[in-house]
Structure 1
Amino acid sequence: MNFPMTMADISLWLAVMAIILLITSELVSSASAYSGDVIIEKKRLRLAALALGVGFMVTVIARIFYPF
């Protein structure tokens, strides 16, 4: 049984999710006056985005050194 996602699919997913989380964290931090009812930890959101960005870089480096 094969894994349904290739390394390229995982890399693309990580990149898109990191960009979405970074944009969300920037929008939440800039619109803090309007988001009084929304409780989101900005630091945790930004750390998750950075972790996904690092994961993306790891998959890119893995594809460079171990091409499939």
Structure 2
Amino acid sequence: MSAPLPAAEYYASLPRVIAGAGAVFYDATGRVLLVQPTYRDDTWEIPGGGMEEGEYPQETARREIAEK
């Protein structure tokens, strides 16, 4: 395994634009589905996440929902 990059080099390697996609699900009574992210325990969000290079928003939403 290689050594981690220095902070400045790591941040320079990140994409310049970060996009995400999500989906809103609701039931017959109008309640909205929220999920608690695995990386935080102080908030709830709609299912979704970051887009991968070349993905369309619909593909991102489907992938992220399947991962939840």
The alignment's TM-score, normalised by the length of structure 1, stands at: 0.23
> Which has the higher relative contact order, 1 or 2, with Cα contacts under 8 A spaced 6 or more apart?
1
The alignment's TM-score, normalised by the length of structure 2, stands at: 0.23
* Structure with the higher fraction of residues in strand conformation: 2
* Structure with the higher fraction of residues in helix conformation: 1
